[in-house]
Chain A
Amino acid sequence: MATGQQLIDDYLARLERAAQPLAAERRTELLAEIRGHINDARSERGAESDAGVRALLDRLGSPEEIVAAAAEGDQSIAERAATRDQFSGPRRSMMLETWAVLLLTAGSIVLPVIGWLIGAVLMWSSDRWQTREKVLGTAVIPGGIGLYGSILFFASSVETCFAASGADVAGGSTTSINTCDTSSSWTDAIVPVLYGLGAVAALVVPFLLLYLARRRATAEQAEQIVVRVGQPVG
């Protein structure tokens, strides 16, 4: 077992040395992908034995071969990556995601419509959320506030309507007044429940989205830290 792990460590150290000429961003990505491949292969192919690990690494090919494939015709890309590193740094912060959630929640109250719109645009431009999470964020966060408003509006208009029809038959039918009473007690019961659900969703979803984005940002950073810590070896 230990020898298998030792083989993997040696292989990764060799890959890292070979990858030195690549742009930092490319090297990070390549190492993370190969590392992930080895982990997946070990768990899915059950390559825990010494021989299994050896076969796994054989199938991967030599580190030099992999780096040669990465370096092929990549001069301009290496230059572009270097410039990008200069401006934004290799590690992306959570700024975009934090602002997206802030604007969708607090922003839509401070700056009605506009704040929410900017938040939605920011949310959809992030690659740290999946499409369905973006749909959820776009629909539920303002929905928690919007839902409340529309239910109140609906409830009050229903009530007014029945009250008005009751007034129309002024002095007459008790039936219409009864209908009015029934409807208002029905809405009285359902409105707080719906309001509560909307409020809970509006509170929970922003935190859920921030949690997911942070998990993915951490995964991105972990890839980079692993490479940095490993570097003195090379």
Chain B
Amino acid sequence: MVERHPLSQLRRGVLEYCVLALLAREQLYGFDLVRRLSEVDGLVTSEGTIYPLLSRLRRDGSVSTSWVESESGPPRRYYAISASGERALAEFVEEWGRFRDSVDHLIKGQA
């Protein structure tokens, strides 16, 4: 697939940890989660692609899902972070800090 935007590859790699970071605070259902991610500037370009990501996180055990009754309409599938998801997130947070500092350092050094 051709990547048009210079950051799209990076964005895709980081997105799943943003999902885990949101779920580390509270359980969310699909639309609510997507809405919160979309509110952050420049993170999500196509909202629909978050659902396959959620499905993958569920299958690899980083998140768990449960049905919750809603006042209107059918029950909703809620997503929650699992213990292994929390470990993956903690690991990422540490690496990300180092990575961001290194990139900043290089970019500023070049200028």
A residues contacting B by CB (< 8 A) are 26, 29-30, 33-34, 36-37, 39-41, 43-44, 59-63, 65-66, 68-70, 72, 77, 127-128, 130, 212, 215-216, 219, 222
Q: Which 3 A-B pairs have the closest CB atoms?
A: A61-B46, A70-B52, A40-B31
**What number of A-B contacts does a CB cutoff of 8 Å give?**
78
Interface size of B in residues (CB-CB distance below 8 Å): 29
11 more contacts with CB within 8 A, not counting A33-B55, A37-B47, A66-B48, are A34-B51, A37-B51, A40-B29, A60-B47, A61-B46, A65-B46, A66-B46, A66-B51, A70-B51, A70-B55, A127-B66
A215 and B52 in contact (CB under 8 A), knowing A41-B31, A60-B47, A61-B47? no
Q: Which of B30, B59, B66, B67 contacts A33 (CB 8 A)?
A: B30
Of the A-B pairs whose beta carbons lie under 8 Å apart in the complex, a sample of 10, sorted by A's number, is: A26-B55, A29-B55, A37-B30, A37-B31, A37-B51, A59-B47, A61-B46, A65-B46, A130-B66, A215-B75
The CA-CA distance from A213 to B52 in the complex, in Å, is 26
> Interface code B63-76, partner A: CB below 8 Å = 1, 0 otherwise?
00111110011111
Contacts of B52 in A (CB 8 A): 30, 66, 69-70, 72
A68 and B1 in contact (CB under 8 A), knowing A37-B51, A61-B48? yes
Residue of A with least CB distance to B55: A29
The CA-CA distance from A36 to B47 in the complex, in Å, is 13
A62 and B76 in contact (CB under 8 A), knowing A40-B31, A68-B1, A69-B52? no
Residue of B with least CB distance to A59: B47
A30 touches B46 (CB 8 A): no
Main secondary structure of the interface of A (DSSP, over half): helix
A127 and B59 in contact (CB under 8 A), knowing A33-B54, A60-B47? no
A219 and B48 in contact (CB under 8 A), knowing A36-B30, A41-B31, A130-B68? no
Q: Which of A39, A62, A70 contacts B46 (CB 8 A)?
A: A62
Q: Does B49 contact A (CB under 8 A)?
A: yes
> Interface code B25-41, partner A: CB below 8 Å = 1, 0 otherwise?
00001110011001000
Contacts of B48 in A (CB 8 A): 34, 37, 60-61, 63, 65-66, 69
B65 touches A61 (CB 8 A): no
Contacts of B18 in A (CB 8 A): none
